[in-house]
Amino acid sequence: MDDPHTLDATGLLCPLPVLKARKRLMALASGEALTMQADDPAAVVDVPHFCAEAGHILVSSDLEGPVQTYVIRKK
Left if phi > 0, otherwise alpha if psi is -120 to 50, otherwise beta: which for 11?
left
Give the whole-angstrom CA distance, residue 75 versus residue 68: 22
Catalytic residue among 14, 44, 57, 58: 14
Q: Based on the residue annotation, tell me whether 51 is a catalytic residue of this protein.
A: no
Measured at the alpha carbon of residue 36, what is the angle toward residues 34 and 38, in degrees to the nearest 5? 165
Active site residues: 14
